[in-house]
Amino acid sequence: MRIVLGVSAGIAAYKAVHLLRLMREAGHQVDVIPTPASEKFVGRATWEAISGRPVTTSVFSGVDEVRHVRLGQEADLVVVAPATADLLARARAGMADDLLTTTLLASEAPTLLVPAMHTEMWNSAATTENVEVLRTRGIEVMEPAVGRLTGKDTGPGRLPEPEEIYARVTELLHEIDGAAGHGTPEASASAPDQALDQGPAAAPTPGRLRGRTVVITAGGTREPLDPVRYLGNRSSGKQGMALAETAAAAGAKVHLIAGTMDVRPPAQLPNITVEHIETAAQLQAAVQRAAPAADMLIMAAAVADFRPAAYAAQKIKKTEDGENPVITLERTPDILAETVQHRRSAGTGPAVIVGFAAETGSAEADPLELARAKLLRKGCDLLVLNQVGETLVFGRDETEIHILTPPRLTVEGSAVVTLRGTKHEAAEAIIAAAAAYVV
Verify whether residue 233 is a known catalytic residue. yes
Instruction: Give 120 or 330: the residue with its C-beta nearer to ligand C5P.
Output: 330
Binding site for ligand C5P (CB under 6 A): 217, 280, 299, 301, 303, 305, 332-336, 355-357
Nearest to 173 by CA among 332, 3, 299: 3
CB of 179 to ligand C5P, least distance (A): 28
Catalytic residue among 233, 271, 324, 386: 233
Q: Nearer to ligand C5P by C-beta: 83 or 297?
A: 297
Q: Are 2 and 103 in contact (CB under 8 A)?
A: no
Shortest Cβ distance from residue 405 to ligand C5P (Å)?
Answer: 15
Q: How many CA within 13 A on the CB side of residue 251?
A: 13
* Cα–Cα distance, 237 to 301 (Å, whole number): 7
CA-CA-CA-CA dihedral for 336, 342, 344, 349, to nearest 10: -80
Query: Which residue's CB is nearer to ligand C5P, number 77 or number 280?
Result: 280
Question: How buried is 345 (Cβ within 10 angstroms: 0-12 exposed, 13-18 middle, 19+ buried)?
Answer: exposed
- Smallest gap from Cβ 395 to ligand C5P, in A, equals 17
Nearest to 250 by CA among 438, 56, 60: 438
Min separation Cβ 372 and ligand C5P, Å: 13
Q: Rounded to the nearest whole angstrom, what is the least distance from the CB of residue 388 to ligand C5P in the complex?
A: 10
> How many other CB atoms sit within 10 Å of the CB of residue 97?
12
Tell me whether residue 190 or residue 332 sits nearer to ligand C5P (CB atom). 332
Of 351 and 357, CB closest to ligand C5P: 357
Q: Are residues 112 and 80 in contact, defined by beta-carbon separation less than 8 angstroms?
A: yes
C-alpha–C-alpha distance, residues 53 and 51, integer Å: 5
Alpha carbon distance, N-terminus to C-terminus of the chain: 12
Nearer to ligand C5P, 10 or 355 (CB): 355
State how far Cα 40 lies from the chain centre: 33
Do 184 and 411 form a contact (C-beta atoms < 8 A)?
no
Nearer to ligand C5P, 103 or 235 (CB): 235
Query: Smaller CB distance to ligand C5P: residue 157 or 355?
Result: 355
Distance separating alpha carbons of residues 419 and 437, to the nearest angstrom: 20
- Grouping H, G, I as helix, E, B as strand and the rest as coil, residue 31 is strand
User: Which has the closest alpha carbon to 149: 40, 12, 41, 8?
Assistant: 12
CA angle 395, 396, 398 (to 5 degrees): 150
What is the spatial distance between Cα 69 and Cα 278, in angstroms, rounded to a whole number? 54
Q: Which strand (E) or helix (H) includes residue 171?
A: helix 162-179
- CB 290, min distance to ligand C5P, A: 13
Residues annotated catalytic, as ranges: 233
